Amino acid sequence: MQIILYDSHWPKGKKQEYLASPIPQGETLRARPRLPLASFIKGIGNGLIVGALILIIVFAFPLVKQDLTYRLNQKKAEKLTQTYAPLLTQAAQKQAEELKLKEQIASEAAQYKVTTDFSLVIPKISAASKVIPNVNPSDEKEYKELLKNGVGHAQGTKFPGEGGNIYLFSHSTNSPLNVTRYNAVFYMLKELTSGDEVIIFYNEKKYTYKVVDHFITTADDVRWLTEQTSEERLVLQTCWPPGTSWKRLIVLAKPV
């Protein structure tokens, strides 16, 4: 077998043939083996590439993680906002309405010259007074002293809005001259009739009642004080005749 080499740089029209050394039959051309230095350099290059990728992953992962966490939190926040925004708006509106109502109630109470802590107003007889809570009705010395400063709320009875029996009592008198002396808030209680309005301000709220009955009973008739009832009922009590302690005048009222 012979190999003929041709050089393109030869002048045109000339062809020269060179006979190379013959290759024995049965043998083929073998690639020249790579040099050790080339393999070493290639290995270093591959190692640098792998190392660079590892560094990128190590340093970039926290940033990618932080970015993904931020975006997920943003989506969660948007979802929560969409879900709870209407509820928060309703709560804010309700709170604003309640505040406005409290201001209106306080303004109305101020017109009667009382507070919204615990006060009683009976427009028909121009009675307006603070109410002293939890006065012991069986301790005459205690309640006589306390009734100089307001209407007594009987200890053990309910408060407005709780349901049950609310028992309030105060002095009456047989002379207008003693109204101030004895703080006789219930001096004109006998003038109340069915349908008359009774207002109680309690714990910044307003409770309105309508008179449903009134009558005179004995001094030892305490059933209106001790009787238990599931329905809310307001009991106003004073002495009868005015200026004595012989009997009791009872006025009953129910919530409007």
Domain containing residue 230: CATH number? 2.40.260.10
Model's pTM, two decimal places? 0.65
The answer on pLDDT for 166 being more than 90 is yes
Looking at the structure of the chain, the number of domains it has is 2
Position 18 scores a pLDDT of 45
Between CA 188 and CA 165 the distance in angstroms is 23
Residue 177 lies in a domain: yes
Residue 130 lies in a domain: yes
The answer on pLDDT for 179 being more than 60 is no
Residue 246 lies in a domain: yes
| Look-up of token digits 């049965």 | 26
Domain hosting residue 214, numbered range: 118-255
Residue 13 lies in a domain: no
Residue 248 lies in a domain: yes
The answer on pLDDT for 141 being more than 60 is yes
Residue 141 lies in a domain: yes
| Look-up of token digits 């013959």 | 22
Which range of 10-14, 94-98, 173-177, 180-184 scores highest in mean pLDDT? It is: 94-98
Position 44 scores a pLDDT of 80
Co-location of 107 and 124 in the same domain? no
Question: Are the C-beta atoms of 95 and 102 separated by less than 8 Å?
Answer: no
Co-location of 107 and 233 in the same domain? no
Co-location of 181 and 69 in the same domain? no
Residue 64 lies in a domain: yes
Contacts with 6 (C-beta within 8 Å, 6 or more apart), sequence order: 15, 16, 17
